[in-house]
Amino acid sequence: MPEISRFYGIIIKMFFIQGEHNPPHFHAEYGSDKAQFDLNTLEIIKGSLPNTAHFLVKQWAKLHQAELKTIWDTQEFKEIEPWE
């Protein structure tokens, strides 16, 4: 699963096989904690993260939601800027 971004110890990844991995989502990992975030709602659909990591991922995803959706739709890998 390609890594799209990394910030504050959080790794963002996305699978590129739409038909097998709906709804559209991305994966976030922080230490041993893992979660999947829906691209449309930015809510966790599977797993969990500590509160601070959850907040940072959600804020980062709000800034880059259009880019994330484009990656999902085109299936073309692109790195996205980390949280600054």
Q: What is the pLDDT of residues 32-82, one digit of tens each?
A: 999 999 999 999 999 999 999 999 999 999 999 999 999 988 888 888 888
Beta-bridge partners for 33? 30
Rounded distance between C-alpha atoms, residue 62 and residue 42, angstroms: 8
* Cα→Cα distances 70→21, 30, 64, Å: 16, 24, 10
Extents of the domains making up the chain: 3-74
Q: Residues with Cβ < 8 Å from 8, sequence gap 6 or more?
A: 53, 56, 83
Q: Residues with Cβ < 8 Å from 3, sequence gap 6 or more?
A: 11, 12, 13, 79
Q: What is the pTM of this model?
A: 0.89
